[in-house]
Structure 1
Amino acid sequence: MKVLALSDLHGKFFRLDAIIKKSDPVDAIVICGDITHGGPEVSAVRTISELKQLCPTVLFVPGNWDTREVVEGLGRYTDAINLDVSPRIIKNTLFMGIGYSNPTGNNTPSEISEEEIANKLETLFREMPAVDRKVLVTHAPPLDTLDMTPKGAMGSKSLRAALDKFDLIICGHIHKARGKVKDGAWLINPGYAAEGQAAIIDLETFDVVWIDSVI
């Protein structure tokens, strides 16, 4: 099973055409948040419409720049699956989600506390069925993984504590932290979609094909 993963488009949906042209056929598209930069909802809806040219199955979590109106608009006008609300099993792979981000210090529109993240994880653990693979889609990365910034590590402590519960975590949020590491789970940041970056992930091997559509 292969997915196209992207994150942090920040409303620049004009980047999607080139990303789609460079992608192989996939079984699902995964968006790790910050579809918009504070709205509007029409930008998010157009993003889903563009991506459906490649694959009808679109899974997402909201980011810290995706407002309540954006999330409600996606629910009202698209059939994209908000993993922060509804886990989904596709080809015996369980996709779960934790949207928004731990506090950034910048007062962005949609931040949640570490306690809220921990409570969301506990709910996921209680309801986790037996499947071949468990994939967690988050906006924020776990602490001390793909989270380094000039101010230091900005990831989530609660996600850090849950690394051994999943086979793969796909995350974003830190624009310059694109990469793949193994730390309990595999972790992949597909890059900064606002600059044309994305990744195709093989969920059986965890091999990654990096997409760079802007040179």
Structure 2
Amino acid sequence: MKILAISDIHGKFFRLEGIMRKSDPVDLVVVAGDLTQGGPPENAVRSISELKHFCKNVLCVAGNWDTPEVKAAIGQYAVDLEETPRIYKNTEFMGLGGSNPTGNNTPSEYTEEELEYKLDVLLSHNLPQRTVLVTHTPPQNTLDMTPHGAAGSPALRRALEKVDVVICGHIHGARGKIKDGAWVINPGYAAEGQAAVIDLDTMDIIWIDSVV
């Protein structure tokens, strides 16, 4: 199964055409949050519409910059994995939107206790053979380094032994793929034309750079 992983569009939906042009055909598109920069919802709808012309199966979570109105639009026009986990070809996709506190008072931030509760609910059932957790924020100490230190979530860190793959974003300069219990993948900064095609069967990745 191949997926196109995208994160941090930040309203720049015009970057998606170049990303899709460089992508292989895929079974699913996964968006790991920050479709907008604080709104408006129409920007999220435009991004989802563009992506649906490429692949009808679009799965999303909201990011810390996505307002409640944006999250509602995601649920109306795509699959909000935080609200509705989905199983495709024996793989369960589930989501955790928003982020841990950033210090910038962005629209969708949660305490670590809230994130841990959300994860406990997501992971409380019997999981299928393969699970993909789509989050906006990365796990602590994994693809989360900023000039001010590690910015990831300790709650997500503790979840790494319970899932197979984590697709995240949030830290624009932390693009990469690391095996740390689960595979953790940041597809890059979509607002600058970055994305990734992930083969979940082999864990091979094609890194997309549509702006050079």
**Normalising to structure 1: TM-score of the pair?**
0.97
Structure 1 gaps of 5+ residues are: none
Task: Provide Cα deviations, 1:138-158, integer angstroms capped at 9, x if missing partner.
Answer: 000000000000000000000
Name 1:25's counterpart in structure 2: 25
Cα offset, 1:162, TM superposition: 1.0
Q: Secondary structure at the match of 2:208?
A: strand
Q: Which whole-Å CA distance do the structure 1 matches of 2:14 and 2:53 have between them? A: 14
* Aligned ranges 1:43-58 → 2 under 5 Å: 43-58=43-58
| Number of equivalent positions | 212
Q: Secondary structure at the match of 2:53?
A: coil
Q: Which whole-Å CA distance do the structure 2 matches of 1:128 and 1:138 have between them? A: 20
Q: Does 1:138 align with 2:148?
A: no
Structure 2 gaps of 5+ residues are: none
**Normalising to structure 2: TM-score of the pair?**
0.98
Task: Provide Cα deviations, 1:149-196, integer angstroms capped at 9, x if missing partner.
Answer: 000000000000111001100000000000000110000000000000
Cα offset, 1:72, TM superposition: 1.3
Structure 1 consecutive aligned stretches of length 4 or more whose deviation exceeds 4 Å: none
From 116, 120, 123, the counterpart of 2:121: 123
* Aligned ranges 1:54-93 → 2 under 5 Å: 54-76=54-76, 78=77, 80-93=78-91
Cα offset, 1:71, TM superposition: 1.2
Q: Which whole-Å CA distance do the structure 2 matches of 1:6 and 1:107 have between them? A: 24
Q: Does 1:14 align with 2:14?
A: yes
Cα offset, 1:107, TM superposition: 0.7
Q: Which whole-Å CA distance do the structure 1 matches of 2:75 and 2:180 have between them? A: 34
- Please tell me the residue identity of whatever aligns with 2:46: R
Cα offset, 1:127, TM superposition: 2.1
Cα offset, 1:120, TM superposition: 0.9
Name 1:159's counterpart in structure 2: 156
Q: Which whole-Å CA distance do the structure 2 matches of 1:93 and 1:125 have between them? A: 14
Name 2:181's counterpart in structure 1: 184
Cα offset, 1:124, TM superposition: 1.5
Name 1:114's counterpart in structure 2: 112
- Please tell me the residue identity of whatever aligns with 1:143: Q
Please give the root-mean-square deviation of Cα atoms over the aligned residues, in Å.
Answer: 0.8
Question: Among the aligned pairs, what percent are the same residue?
Answer: 65
Cα offset, 1:75, TM superposition: 2.8
From 161, 173, 189, the counterpart of 2:170: 173
Cα offset, 1:132, TM superposition: 2.4
Cα offset, 1:37, TM superposition: 0.2
- Please tell me the residue identity of whatever aligns with 1:85: E
